[in-house]
Amino acid sequence: MTLHGTTSVADGRRGGRMGVRRIRNRLAVAGAPHRLAGDSRIWAVITLLVLVTTSACDTGNTGNDSGKGLDLGSVTAGWGPDRPTFTEAGRPDRATLNSVTDNPRHGDERTFLSVTEVATGQRHVGGDVALQPGQTYEATVFFRNDVAPGTQAGASTGTRVRATLPATVKGRERISAFLQSDNAEPALLWQSLALAAPADSPVAVRIVPDSARVYTGAAPKGVTLPAEELFSEAGTLIGCSAQDGVLTGARQCEGRVQFRFVADQPNFVISQAISRAGETGTSGLRFEAGTRVTFKMHYRNTGTTQQDNVVLRSELPASFRYVSGSTNVSTSRTGGKWTKVGDGVTKDGLNLGSYVPGGGAYLKFTAVLPNAEDVDCGLTSTTSTAMARTENGTKSVKSAILVEKRCG
């Protein structure tokens, strides 16, 4: 099972090069050409090819989260590398991170990453974490140097925690945590969980500012961690009472790193109502030629995140004439009152600013339908399009307008 750690560490980039380098070194020793001669050299090469092929196929259990390996071809929960384990009563005599299987306060330390739904308190330690738009989640990374307390020169040095989190979840994506040390064996540990959202309804993942903290027995109130370090390639140093990278086997050095993230899902709606100028409400879609009509557009943020640079635009039929100076908007910033704004709604559109979830804006303007001499007798069908453009996409709605010309 040697390649469990290599496969998963490759997902951690820096560690991947370490794992590959170690395997190459082992193969170089096992098959050093200068120690072989004649037929024995040929058989050694064949043996190495069999070993490499067998190991490369052994990527761990991908059917559930109980396996120790992580198949990079699919997004699953898992941990690694496969390593010697210890009991609380028989802790090691050297620096060793998260390898005790019966920690009385945590259980099996090899599963050191969990995600909790803040609103419900439901904790996930394996399988899929189904993200719900608008919900906040807390990730916890448990850590401990398992060396027997009081062991001389048993401190872990250069101890770091690193986390990775996807920007968007469309289907299934990994959240991963890494523990590393300059002198512990193994030097790098990892665990991943699968975050899930419908492929046709993706969510954006946003870190809650200033939520990353480290807690130990020596610092029970927690110390703020810089998120830019925690999510960096190198990770952030942790320690017993100071972030100096030194972890002894003492009880007060056991701890956890926690941070929160929100599942955001941008969404909005756009609608349009058409009425005769001066009338309220919708008075139908059938108007006599030459009538002045009012177009009212309504944008509303129905998502879970603020939308910026919201632009409303109207596409009128070529035969319709926009009335200059007739555009007004109504938002919370105007106190719900109609306020005159510039023209441009029928050209590039008007930027109405930013709107928090649940916020919205109304826009209205007047246009004149084509004169009777410009349309045929009876009913002429035309189409008006109201459009909302945001940094999260564009939506539009079309309205049919019937222009009537009576010819006796």
AA letter at 163:
A
Cα 407 to chain center, whole Å? Answer: 62
Rounded to a whole number of angstroms, the CA Rg of the chain reads: 32
Q: What would the pLDDT profile of 154-211 be if each residue is shown by its tens digit?
A: 999 999 999 999 999 999 999 999 999 999 999 999 999 999 999 989 999 999 999 9
- Of 84, 81, 106, which Cα lies nearest the Cα of 94? 84
Contact (Cβ atoms closer than 8 angstroms) between residue 213 and residue 123 = no
- 3-state helix, strand, coil split of the chain in percent (to 5) is 15, 35, 45
Cα 137 to chain center, whole Å? Answer: 11
| Residue 313: both structure tokens together | 């635009």
pTM for the whole structure: 0.69
**At residue 212, does pLDDT exceed 90?**
yes
Residue by residue, DSSP assigns 385-403 as: EEEEEETTEEEEEEEEEEE
Ranges of each domain in the chain: 1-59, 61-264, 268-405
Residue by residue, DSSP assigns 282-296 as: ---SEEETT-EEEEE
AA letter at 103:
N
Q: What is the CATH number of domain 268-405?
A: 2.60.40.1530
Contact (Cβ atoms closer than 8 angstroms) between residue 289 and residue 404 = yes
Q: Which of 34-48, 152-166, 307-321, 325-339 has the lowest mean pLDDT?
A: 34-48
Q: What would the pLDDT profile of 350-393 be if each residue is shown by its tens digit?
A: 999 999 999 999 999 999 999 988 888 988 889 999 999 999 89
The whole-number average pLDDT for the span 316-327 is 96
Q: Name the DSSP class of 208.
A: P
The whole-number average pLDDT for the span 234-253 is 96
- Of 206, 168, 196, which Cα lies nearest the Cα of 305? 206
Q: Which residues contact 103 (CB under 8 A, 6 or more apart)?
A: 88, 109, 144
At 285 the pLDDT is 80
Q: What would the pLDDT profile of 32-56 be if each residue is shown by its tens digit?
A: 333 333 444 433 333 333 333 333 3
Q: How far is CA 396 from CA 66, 351, 368, in A?
A: 47, 16, 22
At 284 the pLDDT is 62
Q: How far is CA 242 from CA 140, 208, 219, in A?
A: 19, 23, 9
Contact (Cβ atoms closer than 8 angstroms) between residue 116 and residue 229 = no
| Residue 43: both structure tokens together | 């058989």
Q: How far is CA 7 from CA 66, 235, 291, in A?
A: 16, 20, 71
